């Protein structure tokens, strides 16, 4: 990390790179909803200095996490829907359609499983799935996020394009403090997976408490992965002053790098 950049700068920059990569379900690459038109995204950032800001159900922006970062300059901690999108324009972020061919393809795969999609439960749909693309990849629960420590401050950031099988206006764990992410004096946490389950369990905050009690990042990851039912997607990355760890119950890519390692 450059000497003049903070942990917050690092997690925002890293998360924007992931938002711009169509392989991930965030920013460009976000999932279409059932109507085949709507894309609503969530993003957040938090630091151990007590800063937190988030946007939820924001539309037609390229980098939702950058809008969340901009919101840190206001007294508010969360903007939603049209208000979040209008605020993005005030911050100078231009209109942007994140719809991709990949998003359209994923939607068609989901819809073609059954003409009466509403009759399927998630478990039944997964058992019936017969496409080459894995069910969990097609539904896009792969939220993106970053954690960092700059020697003084911890920071965490998240961004998500949501899932297809939800109502318009659905908000998951990402923009809720202590649910998808948490940062304080002992370290920073970012989670991914099934947002409703993560939010109801306050997973990021509770994992942070374990880290604060003295668990290592690797032990904290193991603790979190065992907290929810085996059928629930969970991924988590954790950093403290001396170490970093990440892991997932199901498929999730992650990477760690220190200032001593080449880029």
Catalytic residues: 143
In angstroms, the CA 142 to CA 128 distance is 21
CB 230 within 8 A of CB 249: yes
Angle, CA of 38, 43 and 47, to the nearest 5°? 175
CB 237 within 8 A of CB 245: yes
Each residue of 197-233: b (16+ CB within 10 Å) or e? bbbebbbbbbbbbbbeeebebeebbbbbbebbeeebb
- Over its C-alpha atoms, the chain yields an Rg (Å, rounded) of 18
Tokens (6 digits) for 4: 């003049």
Short-list 1, 10, 2, 4, CA closest to 148: 10
In angstroms, the CA 47 to CA 102 distance is 33
């Amino acid at each position: 990390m450059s000497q003049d950049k903070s942990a917050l700068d690092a997690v925002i920059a890293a998360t924007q790179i992931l938002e711009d990569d169509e392989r991930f379900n965030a920013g460009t690459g976000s999932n279409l909803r059932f109507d085949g038109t709507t894309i609503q995204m969530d993003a957040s950032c938090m630091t151990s200095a007590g800063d937190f800001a988030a946007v939820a159900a924001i539309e037609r922006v390229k980098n939702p996490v950058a809008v969340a970062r901009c919101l840190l300059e206001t007294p508010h901690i969360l903007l939603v829907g049209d208000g979040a999108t209008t605020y993005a324009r005030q911050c100078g972020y231009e209109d942007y359609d994140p719809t991709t061919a990949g998003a359209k393809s994923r939607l068609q795969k989901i819809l073609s499983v059954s003409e009466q999609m509403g009759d399927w439960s998630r478990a039944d749909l997964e058992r019936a799935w017969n496409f080459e693309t894995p069910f969990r990849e097609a539904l896009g629960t792969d939220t993106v996020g970053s954690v960092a420590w700059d020697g003084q401050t911890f920071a965490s950031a998240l961004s998500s394009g949501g899932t297809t099988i939800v109502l318009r206006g659905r908000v998951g764990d990402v923009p809720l403090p202590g649910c998808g992410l948490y940062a304080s004096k002992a370290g920073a946490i970012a989670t991914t997976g099934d947002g409703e389950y993560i939010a109801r369990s306050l997973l990021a905050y509770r994992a942070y408490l374990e880290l604060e009690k003295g668990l290592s990042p690797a032990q904290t990851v193991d603790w979190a992965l065992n907290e929810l039912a085996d059928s629930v997607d969970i991924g988590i990355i954790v950093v403290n002053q001396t170490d970093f760890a990440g892991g997932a119950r199901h498929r999730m890519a992650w990477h760690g790098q220190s200032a001593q390692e080449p880029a």
